[in-house]
Amino acid sequence: VEKNLKLEEKITMLQQQNEELRARIEQNTVITRQLSEENANLQEYVEKEVEEKKKLSRTNEELLWKLQEGDAMSPVKLPPAPSTPFYRCSSGNSSPAKVRTLRR
């Protein structure tokens, strides 16, 4: 009878531990879901940021290229002194009839 009582007490104790562990598992499951959702949101945010960075980089490269192409296509560079006249072809053609004087 004593052995039976001790075993019943042990069963009760193990059942309580089992319930506590189930509750912890449930809490961990909820936290895991929340963290997974947050992780997915952060990954989406990072992907958007990466795409935006790529877009800005492409735009920057395009603008730099246009700036360099504009400088390369310009027949005459600006002189260092702003009051000095310089000549620029108005049509992109180097014909003397098309050249005009511009003042800064």
Q: Summarize pLDDT for 35-87 with one digit per residue, the tens.
A: 999 999 999 999 999 999 999 999 999 999 999 988 777 665 555 655 544 44
Is the model's pLDDT at 32 over the cut of 80?
Answer: yes
- Number of neighbouring beta carbons within 10 Å of residue 89: 15
Q: Which residue has the tokens 């002194």?
A: 81
pLDDT at 70: 84
pLDDT at 101: 45
Is the model's pLDDT at 98 over the cut of 50?
Answer: no
3's tokens: 């052995």
Q: Which residues pair with 85 in a beta bridge?
A: none
